[in-house]
């Protein structure tokens, strides 16, 4: 029997409305190192190590608005820019496609004009000489002159699997030269509380290190215990 479909294939699926972190929650993460935020999440939350800033000094904090792309396609990117709010982080998920760039200098300018805080992608970018003067932080896995198409399908605002974790629109992203960390929106206050503990422990350890210690207290105990076997 002949199979029939209802309607034409959809090029773009969009979720326009989603909750974002409060301005106070976002401000609480300003200036924090990504390592601190990871430590407050039991050592997790960082995207794949290959997603790095074009310049080491690029940093950002902001809520995600997601875009999913098919290989060598960028249809969803400009609709995502159109639907973004000032301060959003444009997250472009490509399933790690590395055959062509998904962001160039003109897209970076449009994102900057929309007051998007940063662009994060698990794909490639191009026109770096034109992107850098724009001043918008761009985090990616690499650079290629190859250009994409705009045919779809794609989505905006829906959850994406990227860099080893899931990102939902409205989740908080923090980026610096070490990489990008995701804090799920519903866990922001919990992570902020745990950050206080991390900060206290880090301050105490820094004080010890600066006083001249060469190792942690437990190291010598381990070396002297029956949990260590010497072979010489």
pLDDT tens digits for 66-118? 999 999 999 999 999 999 999 999 999 999 999 999 999 999 999 999 999 99
Q: Which of 172, 144, 232, 181 is nearest to 49 (CA)?
A: 181
First to last CA, the chain: 78
What is the per-residue pLDDT for 189?
96
CB under 8 Å to 219, separation ≥6 — which residues?
none
Per-residue pLDDT averaged across 7-27, rounded? 94
What is the per-residue pLDDT for 214?
82
Per-residue pLDDT averaged across 177-184, rounded? 98
pTM of the model: 0.90
Per-residue pLDDT averaged across 218-225, rounded? 94
Q: What is the number of other CB atoms lying within 10 angstroms of the CB of residue 129?
A: 8
Residue 1 has pLDDT above 70, yes or no: no
């Amino acid at each position: 029997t002949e199979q029939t479909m209802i309607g034409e294939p959809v090029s773009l699926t969009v979720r326009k409305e989603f909750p974002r972190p409060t301005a106070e929650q976002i401000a609480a993460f300003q200036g924090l190192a990504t390592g601190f935020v990871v430590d407050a999440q039991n050592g997790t939350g960082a995207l794949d190590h290959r997603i790095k800033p074009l310049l080491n000094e690029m940093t950002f904090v902001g809520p995600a608005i997601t875009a999913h792309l098919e290989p060598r396609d960028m249809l969803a990117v400009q609709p995502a820019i159109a639907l973004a709010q000032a301060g959003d982080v444009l997250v472009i998920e490509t399933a790690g496609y590395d055959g062509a760039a998904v962001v160039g200098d003109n897209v970076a300018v449009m994102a900057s004009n929309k007051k998007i805080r940063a662009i994060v992608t698990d794909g490639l970018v191009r026109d770096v000489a034109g992107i850098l003067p724009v001043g918008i932080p761009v985090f990616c896995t690499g650079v290629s002159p190859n250009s994409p198409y705009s045919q779809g399908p794609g989505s905006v605002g829906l959850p994406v699997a990227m860099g080893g974790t899931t990102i939902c629109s409205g989740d908080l992203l923090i980026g610096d030269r070490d990489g990008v960390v995701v804090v799920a929106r519903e866990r922001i206050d919990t992570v902020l509380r745990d950050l206080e503990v991390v900060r206290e422990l880090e301050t105490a350890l820094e004080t010890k290190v600066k006083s001249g210690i060469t190792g942690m207290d437990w190291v010598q105990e381990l070396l002297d215990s029956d949990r260590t076997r010497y072979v010489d």
